[in-house]
Structure 1
């Protein structure tokens, strides 16, 4: 992890402001979801990308009934359908 050389204070509500230069570099816009990850003593912010609820894959993910599922798991589920009906 490379330090950005920017120091910000946390306000009373626990917020910090990401500098415009960082938002621009990482293509983060107002309203974009951000995921907060913790690794040891580090807090990591990254743009949110939905993951499959079954395998955590982030490629070719679609939303179904407010859940995310990848095309691989969806195919596997479709293959199971005829077996369950018999």
Structure 2
């Protein structure tokens, strides 16, 4: 992990502000979703990238009831259900 030298205090609501230079360097725009990960005493923020809920793949996604599923997973599920799909 690389130290940025930036220190921020939490406000009374538990929020922090990410410096504009850091957001620009990492390609994080206003209102971009961030994922939060915890590893022991470390908090990691990562720009959220939607992925297939079954495989984690990020290509060729379909939105189904608020969840992302790849076309490949849909075809495999159809096959597993005994359905014949012609493309």
TM-score by length of 1: 0.83
Give the equivalent residue in structure 2 for 1:17.
Answer: 17
Distance of 1:40 and 1:60 partners within structure 2: 34
Q: Identify unmatched segments of 5+ residues in structure 2.
A: none
Point out the structure with the larger helix share.
Answer: 1
Deviation >3 Å, runs of 4+: none
When the two chains are superposed, the root-mean-square deviation of aligned CA atoms in Å is 1.8
Q: Identify unmatched segments of 5+ residues in structure 1.
A: none
Distance of 2:15 and 2:28 partners within structure 1: 16
Assess, with a 3 A threshold, how the Cα gap between structure 1 residues 59 and 84 changes in structure 2: closer, same or farther.
closer
